[in-house]
A = this chain, B = another copy of it.
């Protein structure tokens, strides 16, 4: 209930502000005996790092070097909490001095002030996208567990602004800087970002995610359905404004005979359910799409108010991305992996 913890058995608690000394995650419930490949966790963090050739990417350069403080001995989890720390090194807090006294539209500045009566104005504080580095580090631990069960979680960019993938290939994202699911859509996507950058503006998009190898039976009835937990996990990522499973919003316009997946001796004939029936995984691939809003930080002047409520025009300085969508991809994979790892362990307790 404190907002900084996710999961129940495989459980992560994160901490850290954008411009504080460090970010981190404490992961409890990692099963003893799990091999911890530290270089894999670092590679996952590197996938989330800014500035890897994307036009209009933030100029902040963080090494995101991972330190493991506990829970691992000789490369193996010992059952105690795995504490992961990532130091902040490239803060330019003074860039944000102007924001101390006013609120950026589309950001959490206004709401943190109203919630707490004060806030860390430097780079968004805890509400910064930088917070997701801790999620990715913890999610990498979850992926290591899932791999023992041959469960693979992959995500990619389906659209940026009006540029959409014509086909979907989950092996494509790792080979292009936009994490796009269709390499043929890359020119149009790059053009969307370049046009937004030229206009001192930003642009949103859609990410699609698929988990394969998920055994039937994961998810808990009623409130903690697999799709409910994935929705919780994914919508908790700052920029995500919507999620849909399988046929999703499209299902609302279908008839039951069109939407039901026929069951055959060889498995489901289709997967309009997105791999979830009654909130429990059905053995087919888990599939969902998430809407990512355009970065609220833009170079165009916007109407806002200051701490005293006076009207003010604001042009956001500081360093930020024109398009955050490609960087959300590893974060969505991380949240999906954390959810599945937790449900996988819980399922061990469900039968006599």
Contacts and interface: CB of A to CB of B under 8 A. Distances in A.
Given A31-B351, A105-B262, A241-B274, A20 B69 contact: yes
B222 A351 contact: no
Given A116-B79, A278-B238, A3 B220 contact: yes
Given A31-B349, A103-B263, 6 more contacts: A2-B224, A32-B117, A204-B253, A244-B249, A256-B297, A348-B349
A202 B252 CA distance: 11
A191 interface: no
A49 interface: no
A186 to B, nearest CB: 18
A259 B247 CA distance: 26
Interface residues of A, number: 155
B241 A111 contact: no
Given A67-B21, A222-B14, A251-B293, A352 B256 contact: no
A143 interface: no
Interface in A190-205: 196, 199, 201-205
B264 A125 contact: no
Interface stretch (A39-47, A168-176, A301-309): A301-309
Given A32-B351, A199-B255, A351-B32, A262 B302 contact: yes
Nearest to A33: B352
Interface in A294-333: 294-298, 300, 302-305, 309-311
